[in-house]
Every structure is written in C-alpha cells, then in structure tokens.
Amino acid sequence: MSGADLETLINTAALRAAKRDAKFISIEDVDEAKDKLMLGPARRNKVVRPETLRKTAFHEAGHTLVALLTKGAMPIYKTTILPRGQTAGVTYFLPEYKDEGNMTRGQIMAQLDVAMGGRVAEELIFGAEEVTTGAGSDMQSASSLARQFVMQFSMSQLGLSTYDRNSPPSPETQATIDREVKRILDVSSRVAPPLLC
C-alpha cells in the first residue's frame, strides 16, 4: 500500500473503533477496514439462502484446498463466505511474489490451478449443471493470465515470440494462441479434481 492507502486504512479502522467506543484501534478493526476497502462493506443484513451459502462455501473451499496442496501457490490469508460488495465469498492470498513483478512458470501454473479450484469444487459436489456464475470472475482472471502466459511471457509451446498491440499475431497465429490458451486452461482444470477428492 502507498502512504495514502495506509492513511485511509487506519482512518477507516479508527472509525470502526470509535463506533465501539474503543480507546485503541484493534487488529480486528484494521482487518475489517482492509476488507471493506478492498471488497466493499459487509452485507450482514443481506438474506442469503442456505443452498447459496453452501455452494459458496464449497467454491471457496475449492480455492483453499488447491492452494494448500499446490507447490508454488500463494499462502492463504483468509477464506470467507460473508457477502461483501459484489462478492458472495472470497479467498484472500498473501501475494509473496506477485508484487515483485517476477513470477516463475510454476507459480503462474499454481495461480491458474487455484483459480480453477472453486469451479471444479462446485462441479464435483453439485454436478456440471449446477456450476454457478460465481466462478465467472475466476475464469476471467485465469483466461487473462493464460493469455499473458502465451502472448507476453513466452512460456508456452508457441515458443519465444511475444505479441501485443504493436506486434499483433497473424490470424493463423491468433487461432494457434487461442488453442494454446484453451489447452492450458483445460490442463489446469484437470489438476484440481485429484486434489479435492
């Protein structure tokens, strides 16, 4: 966080402490302030059906288990099914290497596997027809990372070429890129089931 971000975090935590008539800001105040700033306020009054909570719990547990059992995955900070902002639940990670800007091939693959864990857990528990839209943002993140893996990081079977707006791929190469991204995501989605069973 920048200095301004930290100031906002502490001010938000101080407001929470003041509402409790506390003399000091607690670590719980800071933690709640961080969650509020990152994901939005907790929607404690929102009525959530028990089956929705159950699906959310299995989804987040899928991310958590895959992260715990995958070499190179970021450490877990918190998993919750408390609705916040637009999320029904979330698994937080401690980004050990993401902030450094350098990730290894193994760390990227671990990140893809963890992203797939929520959807795969839903599918294993409830069946393919009952997978929820809650996995949508995970799939967007995984697809974006897989595309970077192929087009920018030169870590796939396509070799060392990179592509961007300044050097776009030919239509034939783009089709190959799309197939490679799909292959990477398919491989990653097959890693989670053995870990979750």
Catalytic residue positions? 60
- Tokens of residue 86, six digits: 């637009």
| CA count, 13 A, side-chain hemisphere, 66 | 27
Nearest-CA neighbor of 189 among 145, 123, 137, 132? 123
Which residues neighbour 140 within 8 Å (Cβ) at sequence distance 6 or greater? none
Neighbours of 21 (CB within 10 A): 6
Interacting residues of 109 by C-beta distance below 8 A, sequence separation 6+? 72, 188
Decide if 135 contacts 121 (C-beta within 8 A): no
User: What's the CA gap between 176 and 110, in Å, rounded?
Assistant: 23
**Distance separating alpha carbons of residues 16 and 24, to the nearest angstrom:** 10
Look up residue 119 and give its two tokens: 């959807």
